[in-house]
Chain A
């Protein structure tokens, strides 16, 4: 079964500092996609960053970057120069070629001013 594990239910970071959110997944597939979604309080889920498994280069989107370790089945999210608006639930997600995207349980990120 495909599973996604986020081992940190809650994390906090000081404004302007860097934080890393962990995610591991379990799959026997070789071709798949990985995603990080952000869900602010009472607001809709939005895509932060995505990674294709066949690409060795780690994805980067402005202050957000990932550390994708395919052999270890690890996909962590690094947020640099954290801002108050980064406070949210962060979900790691995984999808193969079907449409059953699997999500982790989420990590609640608090940003301290």
Chain B
């Protein structure tokens, strides 16, 4: 198993454009999480899936953000009409269901909105 992967690793976009990020979790993990991390801060929870169901969303996840996990495997996070305040590292993590549900993180996608 190669761990959690994310694509792209870096994205530069102009304000107002739409962007989409992809996350591939560890194959046997049925939970998948999205976090946002700004410079000098810890990650902030955005949303999580159990299999294909999106079970929880943070108030940080505005209407311009949408996440999907259509087949319970990979997930996408789309940001519509990007704003400069969306510039951040977007982290994906996966975990199993039981116990401590230790999260394994991907390398992140760094978004820069110009």
Task: State the A residues within 8 Å of B (CB).
Answer: 4, 33, 35, 37, 43-47, 50, 52, 91, 93, 95, 98-106
Contacts and interface: CB of A to CB of B under 8 A. Distances in A.
B58 A100 contact: yes
Nearest to A44: B107
**Looking at chain B, what size class is its interface with the partner chain?**
20 to 34
Given A4-B42, A33-B100, A99 B105 contact: no
Nearest to B103: A101
A43 B107 contact: yes
Interface string B6-43: 00000000000000000000000001010000001111
A44 B41 contact: no
B67 to A, nearest CB: 14
B42 A103 contact: yes
Interface in B52-98: 55-56, 58, 91
Contact of B42 (A44, A46, A100, A105): A105
Given A44-B106, A45-B91, A106 B41 contact: yes
Contacts, number: 52
B38 to A, nearest CB: 10
Q: Main SS of the interface on chain A? A: strand
A46 B42 CA distance: 13
25 contacts: A33-B101, A43-B107, A44-B106, A44-B107, A45-B43, A45-B91, A45-B105, A47-B104, A50-B102, A98-B56, A99-B31, A99-B48, A99-B55, A99-B56, A99-B101, A100-B45, A100-B56, A101-B45, A101-B103, A103-B42, A104-B42, A105-B40, A106-B40, A106-B41, A106-B42
Contacts of A91: 42-43
Interface of B: 3-4, 31, 33, 40-45, 48, 55-56, 58, 91, 100-108
